[in-house]
Amino acid sequence: MEKCWIRNVHIVAEDAIIEGSLMIEDGLIVSITQGEDSSSLPAKEADNVTIVDGKGGWLLPGFIDLHVHGGYGADFMDAAHEAYDTITSFHASKGTTTMLATTVTASPEAIEAVIDATASYIEASMPYASLAGVHVEGPFISERWPGAQNPAYITAPRLDWLQRWNREKPGIVKLLTLAPEKEGALPLVSWLAEHGIIAACGHTDALYEEIEAAVDAGLSHAVHTFNAMRGLHHREPGTAGAVLTDDRIYAELIADGHHVHPAAIRLLAASKPGDKLILITDAMSAAGLGDGQYDLGGLTVDVQSGVARLSEGGSLAGSTLTMLDAVRNMMAYTGLNLMQVSRMASANPAARLGLQQLTGSIASGKQADLVLTDQSLLSVQGTWVRGRRVYSG
């Protein structure tokens, strides 16, 4: 694989921001240099070295999105290679380098099709952002908090489904969202934890004590915190109260300013340890496209001014957010700096997936999963996945 020298950038490394350059070779970061040392770095394109002038922009670890349904007109529920190319290409153009293909509440056959399609896609070349597996969102959720999930497919927890899916496609299901108060949920949570699958609460009416019991059983994650869950009350802290106060729980956040009020975002950021907050998009097929009418799991969604809502009932229905927008919004809403927020978009989700030794931060020896933005963080100038440039702005 060719070498690439990215120069004249502000590198958001693990412990500092470094003004200088970075060298990629054979898919890995091989050196990070403060300033420009002409004795050790190429002065011109030679010896199969591509030189990229970052023009003083930001070089960040590639974003890792654990909760994304689609983009640019395609949905992971399409369970088709072409659709997956469309989704991963679009989100790579916004700086995402790793994703979980996220399902909606659907029939077991439709969910199995996504698991099969994702396994096949991972075995192929994956020309854009990489898929790390599947996030199964539902169908074991609360009828009281369906959000934009199709209530026709909500069902009781089925351990046998997960056992079959994991047996037939080992390691593909990485995360499962369920309502832990449902009968049969706790044995499923324990099984998931024992088999290295993240058990998450979401679309849930669970009381505080029910969440705590689930965490004791192995639950360790909350999807789109505050959305589609029992809220905080001073006498019954509910699901939200448990997520805010139990440091064993990683908390996802949709930082688009519509799903969660900026004041609640600040509350979450103040409550959770810095390594337990994860930015997600929850993006649907409308992401990257204009306003109009779209489908989500068989339900009709209207997008107006970039906000997606069910046509019937008006519930928020996923988002049109990108990870770069989430990073920029999070900084604006909280006053946190770029290094702090970058961890929420990259290092923390990498740790969730057990990939922290490979990706999620910029350090010598790690995969060259990188995103180059302009100085204002408004646009992506380049995205690299395992050292290969998959997008040029």
- Among 222, 287, 280, residue whose Cα is nearest residue 254: 280
Q: How far apart are CA 3 and CA 208, in angstroms?
A: 52
CB-CB neighbours of 349 under 10 Å: 29
Q: Report DSSP letters for 331-380, one per residue.
A: HHHH---HHHHHHHHTHHHHHHTT-TTTSSS--TTSB--EEEE-TTSSSE
Question: What is the bridge-based pairing of β-strands 49-61 and 3-12?
Answer: parallel
Dig out the tokens for 387 from the structure.
């050292």
| 246: annotated active-site residue | no
Residue 291 three-state SS: coil
Enumerate long-range contacts of 241-244, CB under 8 Å, 24 or more apart: 241/208, 242/206, 242/208, 242/211, 242/212, 242/215, 243/201, 243/211, 244/268, 244/271, 244/272
Burial (CB < 10 A; 0-12, 13-18, 19+), residue 332, is: middle
Tell me which of 282, 295, 302, 325 is the catalytic residue.
Answer: 282
* Greatest distance between any 2 Cα atoms in the chain: 68
- Among 185, 183, 226, 184, residue whose Cα is nearest residue 202: 226
Type of residue found at 97: T
Q: How far apart are CA 154 and CA 136, in angstroms?
A: 13
Q: Are 348 and 250 within 8 A, CB to CB?
A: yes
Q: Are 301 and 317 within 8 A, CB to CB?
A: yes
- Among 285, 295, 103, residue whose Cα is nearest residue 203: 103
- Show which residues are catalytic: 282
